[in-house]
Structure 1
Amino acid sequence: MYDIKSFYEASSVSDAVDALVREPDAEIISGGTDVLIRVRNGRDTGKALVSIHNLNEWKGVRLTEDGDLWIGAGTAFSHITADPLIQRYVPMLGEAVDQVGGPQIRNVATIGGNICNGATSADSASTMCTLEAEVVLSGPNGQRVVPVCEFYTGPGKTVRERTEVCTHFLIRRENFEGWSGEYIKYGKRRAMEIATLGCAVRVKLSQDKTRFEDVRLAYGVAAPTPVRCRAAEDVLRGCAVADSQAAAAFAKTALTEVNPRSSWRASKEFRLQLVEELAKRALHAAVQKAGGIPYA
């Protein structure tokens, strides 16, 4: 049984915002793969739900006139993975969200819900951080844009106000053109598993594919929120792709920027081991995808 006060089907994003303003305990729902679990478990019982599940205006993937990638927050994971624009420009994102749950979950769960849920274990989060995606929110005071790296404030918490609706994400063309990347999810099982640790690496190589022009590194479950490791990125920028010592320093430096905890899934010590090892593995794979020859 689900203890729900009321259920309202919004006709537009603005209608959803109005409904959230009218009902002080209302909560947005789309796929419901997170919200309904919280209701069933007694955390959000008795709340009014405002559904935006059937709004086509916040679904799909397209290129803007400026060549940026627009991703609707209501786009289901399976649609993101299969989308031709995702496969062409940011296949890493499609591969990351294809590791969420099982096919049933991926067919209904949305990228907007995955980000706005605020979980550090979200498989889309670390990849979106390395893409420097922008979160676009609509609320009673209009629209605002928040960099995804500034979106999270704590475990399960974000800057999104209760009366705001996440409508879409923007990935600027300079953040995907000429870049390649790899996301590695470590879990106890190969599927239907929440990440013990997630590691995302993106690289931009020199024209001759021998040096790192730029690099980005982000983790999930390595801190209370998804975290970018900017000091580690600085270590590797400008180095030769075949430099094994630089790659090792890159992974070691990441250890100084994370703060994992012990849980029933894994100890802090094991997660720290994963932080270092997955950084090297994801970097190696990202270089190969970019057409470079990585360290042996």
Structure 2
Amino acid sequence: MKYLFPKSIKEALEYILSEKDSKFIAGGTDLIIQISDGFIIPQVLIDLSQIEKLKKIERTEEGFKIGAAVTLEEIASSKFLPQCLIQGAKSIGSPQIRNLGTIGGNICNASPCGDILAPIIVLEGELILISPYGEREVPAKDFFIGPKKTILAKNEILTEIVFKKLFLNERNSSFRKIGKRNGQTISQVNVAIWLKKREKSNEIEDIRIAVGSVAPIPLRLEKVEIFLKGRTINQEILKDALKVIDEQIKPISDVRASENYRRMVIGSLFQDAFKEIYK
């Protein structure tokens, strides 16, 4: 197998055009398993981990952006990123996995149970995709089209994820998950919430909610957001919100959990995450 180390995005795009049967790789924590198991057999791997532009977390006048080759550990140990993103990164695998795995790889792997996906959706991340033919910007919620499937074209690279300043307050968001064990677990269900409330009235001024492992793709719960927006929350309203959640999700039974179990625990996770930030 041929292994290439481009030093720029331009060079990586040249490789993908010239090298047939090639795949991009960064941390490789998912891709190497797929290759080892024989699910894919590329002849060429194009390693993006040496491209400096893809390895930066930057504040900007408009907000902040995260390069696709930034590791999960760098996100987990950040001092200024939104809490739901930090919590999601911390929940993934072991320290060894987090030091190898990248945010771009987690997104492009597109597993419905990916613990970065719900956070980037509630934070309204915009994915910057670059190919030899141009650049496009795609909302995170529109990137996923099925389990392990995205709109990413073969010749495209996810270069960075861009977020607005509105979402930068680290105390306005939360993430929760549940799995079969306490550590290094794959999510059976996860949920991320971002909200903004009016301080004097405690009404919810704005809110975003996304869940994973309860549908073929990570799911934005817009009907629940509409139900909660403008309300001052009490336990009765939360109970009614759980009914709206149950109507929106589409869980399946698989080796990790049953449909009924997922429907049961999503309510507890939602309430736990919500109460962390609505005080």
Q: Same fold per TM (> 0.5)?
A: yes
Of 102, 108, 126, the match for 2:94: 102
Please state how far the C-alpha of 1:276 moved relative to its aligned partner: 2.1
Of 125, 131, 137, the match for 1:133: 125
Corresponding residue for 1:219?
A: 211
Matched to 1:108, the amino acid is L
SS at match of 1:194: coil
**CA deviation string 1:31-63 (max 9, x = no partner):** 010110100000112431111111111112111
Corresponding residue for 1:236?
A: 228
Of 262, 275, 278, the match for 1:284: 275
**CA deviation string 1:246-283 (max 9, x = no partner):** 11121210111111110111101111112222222211
1:71 counterpart = 2:66: yes
Distance in 2, matches of 1:137 and 1:51, equals: 17
Residues 201 and 215 in structure 1, CA contact (< 8 A), matched pair in contact too: yes
Listed as ranges, the gaps of 5+ residues in structure 2 are none
Residues 126 and 219 in structure 1, CA contact (< 8 A), matched pair in contact too: yes
Residues 61 and 83 in structure 1, CA contact (< 8 A), matched pair in contact too: no
Question: How many corresponding residue pairs?
Answer: 279
Give % identity.
28
Listed as ranges, the gaps of 5+ residues in structure 1 are none
Matched to 1:259, the amino acid is K
Distance in 1, matches of 2:163 and 2:171, equals: 12
Please state how far the C-alpha of 1:178 moved relative to its aligned partner: 8.7
RMSD: 1.4
Return structure 1 stretches of 4+ with deviation > 4 angstroms. Answer: none
SS at match of 1:78: helix
Please state how far the C-alpha of 1:25 moved relative to its aligned partner: 1.6
User: Is the alpha carbon distance of 1:197 and 1:285 closer, same or farther for their aligned partners in structure 2, counting shifts above 3 Å?
Assistant: same
Matched to 1:155, the amino acid is P
Matched to 1:42, the amino acid is G
Corresponding residue for 2:40?
A: 44
Name whichever of 140-149 and 172-181 sits farther off: 172-181
SS at match of 1:254: helix
1:245 counterpart = 2:240: no
Of 188, 193, 202, the match for 2:194: 202
